[in-house]
């Protein structure tokens, strides 16, 4: 069963930042390829959300329906249930996940 994928408003600025960075450093052709990889991965997440990697920081506190998938150097962080996949953030692998998560939680 394919779930409906929803990119939360809080994740959209993350994606715009990635787009801006790739366009300014690598150009339109590379962005087109990267964007297609994002689309393909997001579609795959909708079909098989359980295939993502369990997030250890969240698993330690009993949260197991959050997962992540990689697109290049970007982690797509999402949660899922029987009907939906909610994409919470796009975060570069060099950024500290815990700090970014705490910042996101306290800014909302």
> What pLDDT sits at residue 63?
77
Give me the CATH number covering residue 46. 3.30.2310.20
Q: Which domain holds residue 88?
A: 4-107
Total of domains in the chain = 1
> What pLDDT sits at residue 64?
79
> What pLDDT sits at residue 1?
79
How far is Cα 47 from Cα 43, in angstroms, rounded to an integer? 7
> What pLDDT sits at residue 107?
65
Q: Does residue 92 or residue 29 have the better pLDDT?
A: 29
Alpha helical stretches, state H, the chain:
12-26, 28-47, 56-59, 97-107
Which of 23-32, 69-78, 99-108 bottoms out in mean pLDDT, i.e. has the lowest?
A: 99-108
């Amino acid at each position: 069963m394919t779930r409906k994928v929803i990119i939360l408003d809080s994740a959209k600025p993350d994606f715009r930042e990635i787009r801006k960075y790739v366009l300014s450093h690598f150009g339109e052709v590379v962005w087109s390829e990267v964007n297609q990889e994002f689309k393909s991965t997001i579609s795959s997440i909708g079909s098989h959300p359980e295939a993502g990697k369990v997030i250890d920081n969240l698993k330690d506190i009993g949260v197991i329906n959050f997962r992540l998938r990689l697109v290049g150097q970007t982690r797509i962080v999402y949660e899922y249930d029987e009907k939906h996949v909610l994409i919470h953030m796009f975060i570069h692998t060099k950024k500290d996940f815990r700090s970014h998560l705490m910042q996101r939680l306290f800014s909302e």
